[in-house]
Structures are given as C-alpha cells and as structure tokens.
Amino acid sequence: MLKFDEFLINEADGVQTKIEKLKVKLSENFDAIKEAKKMKKPGDPASEITSLTKQADLYAEISPVMKSLIAALKEKEADKAANPGKPTLY
C-alpha cells in the first residue's frame, strides 16, 4: 500500500519513471532478502528468528510493488494503444 507522500510522487512522475522506480524497489527488496538470509548463524535460534522475521517482512512488501508494476505496465500499454504512432516522452 502506498503512503500519501509516495502517491504524490508517483502521480507527478511519468509512467516510465514509475516503472523504473518500481523495478528498483523490487531489486532492493530481493537484495535485502539475500542480506537477511546471511543474518542466520549456525546454532543460534535467535539469529534464525531475526532472519526469518526480516525475510517475511520483505516478502510481504514485494507483492504490492509487483501489482503496482503490473498496473504501470498496463497503463503504458494502454497509452501506447490509444496513441499509435505518437511519440511518447517515456
């Protein structure tokens, strides 16, 4: 779910900019998951709990970002279909 300030930023940007920002956010989340997995230390249940908790939080963030990316890609396609041959700024 987007926060109000994120919504305002997204509304001000073009579709391609939104797409790129969402792709970067997904990449950051997947990188953070890799780092969270490294937090687990052998024989330390507390570190495993911390690692799994962080991973769960990150995975929960991924689905809404992916859905936003899908919506932005559909918006780009719809604009392209509605304006064939018209050069776009994105």
Per-residue b or e along 34-51, where b marks 16 or more CB atoms closer than 10 Å to that residue's CB: eebeebbeeeeeeeeeeb
pLDDT band at 83 (very low <50, low <70, confident <90, very high): confident
Average pLDDT of the chain to the nearest whole number: 87
In a domain, 88, yes or no: no
pLDDT mean over 72-88? 83
Number of folded domains in the chain?
Answer: 1
Radius of gyration of the chain (CA): 18
Per-residue pLDDT tens over the stretch 29-66 = 999 999 999 999 999 999 999 999 999 999 999 999 99
In a domain, 71, yes or no: yes
In a domain, 42, yes or no: yes
Q: Which domain holds residue 58?
A: 26-80
pTM metric for this prediction: 0.72
Please provide the distance, in angstroms rounded to a whole number, between the alpha carbons at the two ends of the chain.
Answer: 25
In a domain, 33, yes or no: yes
Q: What is the pLDDT of residue 79?
A: 85
